[in-house]
Amino acid sequence: WAIYAPYVKAINELKAKRNAVILGHNYMTPEIFHGVSDFVGDSLQLAIKATEVEADVIVQAGVHFMAETSKILSPDKIVLMPDMDAGCSLAESITAEGVEEMRAKYPGAPVVSYVNTTAEVKAASDICCTSSNAVQIVDAMESDTVIMTPDQFLAQNVANKSKKKVVFWEGSCIVHELYKADDLRAYRESDPEVKIIAHPECTPEVVAESDFTGSTSGIIKWVHDNKPAKAMLITECSMAANIADELPEVEFAKPCNACPYMKKITLEKILYALHTMEGQVEIDPDMAEKAKLSVTKMIDLSR
Ligand code: 13P
Ligand code: SF4
């Protein structure tokens, strides 16, 4: 922590000077998560927070689609992205044309797009969802068939819990698709005490092997509530790193996979963004208005 202290101090001073808040995703490294974030959470919690902040500036300690969501919801605020290249394999897998392709294939079916999408895709969709409300949103659609984009695995996991017929785009998360059910089964055989907790961006086979599936905040809550002797978090590496100190009674089993996009966000880049005010997220106002409808419909249905 000593090496981070000067950055943490400088960032916290600049936050006060700029009247800024830092919204940190659960996948941020511990020095960002604990050291400088004013609010931490999963995608839904961060989106809701973006509608509530009173500061002039939001620094998004997360990936680009999260910063766009904040700008969509708070267009009058300055939203700073510490690294514009912090993308997401899901957001990059589909454009508005892809959404239209799905609409042409399944006429009349509503499009539920994961928040892990660009503003353009949100604008072309009927409603958004996150990992914490996807089943609820899909079930709330009137049609019997629902189109989900862009995560094929989230869509299949939702289909397993929903009464709807779910058709989907074939995108995937490069972090979660790496986990294999056979490996988890072998691990559990060698250590039957372990609790396996998976994010719903994992394959349905991996989800079937797990003891609990939920959003990043859902996972943190489950581990806090249940305090298993040993937990394996089938998600991004920083999740265990961020909660390990608070839960000394829980042993976190490896492996984990790091998200190369999330890991682009560093204290140095946050400091630079606050110092220079470079990296401001801009969205075409007409597109932002349409995208806002999809996001606010989701937030209203989730309350
Ligand atoms: P959560 O909404 O569960 O935080 O997920 C965001 C994400 O990008 C997971 O890979
Ligand atoms: Fe995107 Fe996967 Fe990284 Fe989440 S973990 S930001 S879904 S690439």
Mean pLDDT of 171-199: 97
Q: Contact at 8 Å (CB) between 153 and 176?
A: yes
Q: Which residue ranges have their beta carbon within 6 Å of ligand 2? A: 63, 88-90, 116, 173-175, 201, 236, 259, 261-262
Mean pLDDT of 2-22: 97
Kindly report the pTM of this predicted structure: 0.97
Cα 173 to averaged position of ligand 2 atoms, centre (Å):
5
State the closest ligand 1 atom to the C-alpha of 219, by its place in the atom list counted from 1: 3
Q: Which residues sit in the known binding site? A: 25, 43, 88, 114-116, 131, 173, 199-201, 216, 259
> Which residue's C-alpha comes closest to atom 4 of ligand 1?
42
Q: Which residue ranges have their beta carbon within 6 Å of ligand 1? A: 26, 42-43, 116, 130-131, 173, 199, 201, 215-216
Task: Return the best residue to mutate from 259, 263, 264 for the ligand 2 pocket (most ligand atoms within 8 A of CB).
Answer: 259
72-108 residue pLDDT tens: 999 999 999 999 999 999 999 999 999 999 999 999 9
Q: Which residues sit in the known binding site for iminosuccinate? A: 25, 43, 114-116, 131, 199-201, 216
pLDDT at 2 over 90: no
Cα 273 to averaged position of ligand 2 atoms, centre (Å):
22
Query: Is 0.95 exceeded by the ipTM?
Result: yes
State the closest ligand 1 atom to the C-alpha of 214, by its place in the atom list counted from 1: 3
227-237 residue pLDDT tens: 999 999 999 99
Cα 17 to averaged position of ligand 2 atoms, centre (Å):
32
Report the pLDDT value the prediction gives residue 303, as an integer from 0 to 100. Answer: 80
Instruction: For residue 261, give the ligand nearest its CA.
Output: 2
Q: For residue 255, name the pLDDT band (cuts at 50, 70, 90).
A: confident
State the closest ligand 1 atom to the C-alpha of 176, by its place in the atom list counted from 1: 10
The CA distances from residue 249 to 11, 202, 226, 236, in Å, are: 33, 27, 11, 21
Q: Which of 65, 80, 74 is nearest to 118 (CA)?
A: 65
CATH superfamily of 91-173: NadA-like (3.40.50.10800)
Report the pLDDT value the prediction gives residue 223, as an integer from 0 to 100. Answer: 98
Instruction: For residue 25, give the ligand nearest its CA.
Output: 1
> Which residue's C-alpha comes closest to atom 1 of ligand 2?
88
Query: In percent, how much of the chain has pLDDT > 90?
Result: 98
- CA 216, CA 197: separation in Å to the nearest integer? 10
DSSP string, 18-74: HTEEEEEETTS-HHHHTTT-SEEE-HHHHHHHHHH--SSEEEEES-HHHHHHHHHH-
Report the pLDDT value the prediction gives residue 1, as an integer from 0 to 100. Answer: 81
43-62 residue pLDDT tens: 999 999 999 999 999 999 99
Instruction: For residue 200, give the ligand nearest its CA.
Output: 1
Q: For residue 140, name the pLDDT band (cuts at 50, 70, 90).
A: very high
Cα 175 to averaged position of ligand 2 atoms, centre (Å):
6
Fold equal for 5-86+263-282 and 176-258: yes
Q: For residue 166, name the pLDDT band (cuts at 50, 70, 90).
A: very high
Q: For residue 137, name the pLDDT band (cuts at 50, 70, 90).
A: very high
Q: Contact at 8 Å (CB) between 82 and 62?
A: no
Domain 5-86+263-282 has CATH 3.40.50.10800: yes
Q: Contact at 8 Å (CB) between 55 and 20?
A: yes
Q: For residue 254, name the pLDDT band (cuts at 50, 70, 90).
A: confident
Parse the chain into domains and list their residue ranges. Answer: 5-86+263-282, 91-173, 176-258
Mean pLDDT of 3-8: 96
Amino acid of residue 195: K
- CA 31, CA 8: separation in Å to the nearest integer? 8
CATH of 176-258, one of 3.40.50.10800, 1.20.1090.10, 3.30.420.10, 3.80.10.10: 3.40.50.10800
Cα 123 to averaged position of ligand 2 atoms, centre (Å):
21
